[in-house]
Amino acid sequence: MKDLFAKIYKDKGPLGKWASQAEGYFVFPKLEGEISNRMKFQGKEVITWSINDYLGLANHPEVRKVDAEAAAQYGSAYPMGARMMSGHTELHEQLQNELAEFVNKEAAYLLNFGYQGMVSTVDALVAKDDIIVYDVDAHACIIDGVRLHMGKRFTYRHNDVESLEKNLDRATKMAEQTGGGILVISEGVFGMRGEQGRLKEIVALKEKYNFRLFVDDAHGFGTLGKTGAGTGEEQGVQDGIDVYFATFAKSLASTGAFIAADQEIIDYLKYNLRSQMFAKSLQMQLVVGALKRLEMLKTMPELKENLWKITNALQSGLKERGFDIGTTQSCVTPVYLKGSIPEAMALVRDLRENYGIFCSIVVYPVIPKGLILLRMIPTATHILDDVTQTLDAFDAIRTRLENGTYKRLSASVMAAMGE
């Protein structure tokens, strides 16, 4: 019999094998200073394009004041216990009611964490006779939720409505045999590519197929729609979303999440979400802070307006200079380049050390081999000078990538890895 850990000693995984070269710099980096458009990385000021603080609320003086006052009043423990037992308060209810009204649903329910809540919600919505149909590019939290499902599941090609319809045909035939129902899952905004899910087309398929739609709108909430209520509002199909999910970790710059749906659905989920039933309630300081952030989202449209001013300047500037930013339809701004993982390391080091630009790097296995994805998240705190400096830096690093500079610089990395 093998030692359980034998596989770990032998194979660290496609990302883990780079740990000695990457950790502390390319992965698990330490950004320091107040959350803003410019922070410190290894003692140097950098323009930060990898903070999901879309509306610039993380370090807003009004938000910090409320957070501090709430912490002083309630501490970090209250309320103690799970919501069903001893962790329920009027302010939890108030936040849920305001969130439900904002996203045009009958009711809402707070979740401690987005990832945890998504996994648990998928698990609670389906039984073994039901069938799940979901976008192949769905976030890891959706995939992990689907893994808990004891019944059948099908993936459809990313944002491909024809593929979705084919899988709905398969799911319908199977559901007729099992006596179950169908749950379709899409993201409102796909966080890596920045594309909006094709919610309008998906909702239209309800005229032909009997299914329920669950949407993860982590990146759409607060950034899309006339009022900021998300991708469903943006596409005019919020009513067609049966269960709506959003996190506080993006536009609201905090911790927590929520689901919203018809009252009867929320009542069911309250009593069947294992991640909430058996976990401590969301702390009061976070609830109070979320109420303030939601108020600002509703009453300060200039936050979203400035976010989109920066987003449009960055994305149009990249396209004008010939960069491939895919088909983003949101603030998420991907830049696709061609190169190996060692070349990506050399490129990002140059970008940070010599040009003062900090953005996230994504390589295989998250994206196909031979591609480098530099993912940028504009915020309301960025200024146009940040955009100009970044565009000039990207011109420079593209030239060095194409003329082989990074390939030569990365040779020592390749040798060390035995590649």
pLDDT in tens, 200-258: 999 999 999 999 999 999 999 999 999 999 999 999 999 999 999 999 999 999 999 99
Q: What is the pLDDT of residue 417?
A: 47
> Residues 6 or more apart from 250 whose CB is under 8 A from it?
52, 54, 218, 219, 221, 222, 223
Q: Is the bond preceding 365 in cis, omega lying within 30 degrees of 0?
A: yes
Biggest alpha carbon–alpha carbon distance for the chain: 63
Mean pLDDT of 1-10: 87
Query: How far apart are the C-alpha atoms of 347 and 269, rounded to whole Å?
Result: 47
What is the H or E stretch that residue 260 is in? strand 257-261
- Beta carbons within 8 Å of 142's beta carbon, 6+ residues apart: 118, 122, 134, 185, 187, 216
Question: Following DSSP, what letter does each residue of 51-74 receive, concatenated?
Answer: ---TTS-TT-HHHHHHHHHHHHHH
pLDDT at 418 over 70: no
Q: At how many degrees (to 10) do helices 263-270 and 114-125 cross?
A: 100
Residue 406: pLDDT over 50: yes
Give dist(CA 185, CA 179) in Å, integer. Answer: 20
| Cβ atoms within 10 Å, residue 28 | 9
- SS3 assignment, position 160: coil
> How far is Cα 91 from Cα 95, in angstroms, rounded to an integer?
6
Of all residues in the chain, the percent with pLDDT exceeding 90 is: 80
- pLDDT tens track for 149-196: 999 999 999 999 999 999 999 999 999 999 999 999 999 999 989 999
- Please give the share of the chain, as a percent, with pLDDT higher than 70: 98
Which residue type sits at 2?
K
Q: Report which DSSP code applies to 82.
A: -
Span of 21-30, 335-344, 373-382, 407-416 with lowest mean pLDDT: 407-416
* pLDDT class of 369 with cuts at 50, 70, 90: confident
Span 339-362, pLDDT tens digits: 988 898 899 999 999 999 999 888
Neighbouring-strand partners of residue 259: 109, 245
- Distance separating alpha carbons of residues 175 and 209, to the nearest angstrom: 12
Cα–Cα distance, 119 to 165 (Å, whole number): 25
305 vs 301: CA distance, rounded Å: 6
What CA–CA distance (Å, rounded) separates 69 from 325? Answer: 42
Query: What is the amino acid identity at position 189?
Result: V
Q: Is the pLDDT of residue 368 over 50?
A: yes
> What pLDDT, on the 0 to 100 scale, is given for residue 415?
57
For the segment 84-94, what is each residue's pLDDT rounded down to a tens digit?
A: 899 899 999 99
Q: How confident is the model at residue 366 (pLDDT cuts 50, 70, 90)?
A: confident
Phi, then psi, of 312 in degrees rounded to 5: -65, -40
Q: Is the pLDDT of residue 96 over 70?
A: yes
Which tops the pLDDT comparison, 1 or 165?
165
H or E stretch including 106?
none
pLDDT, averaged across the chain: 93
143's CB contacts (< 8 A; 6+ apart) are none
Q: Considering only residues 357 and 12, tell me which one the structure prediction assigns the higher pLDDT.
A: 357
Phi, psi of 49, deg, nearest 5: -115, 25
pLDDT of res. 353:
94
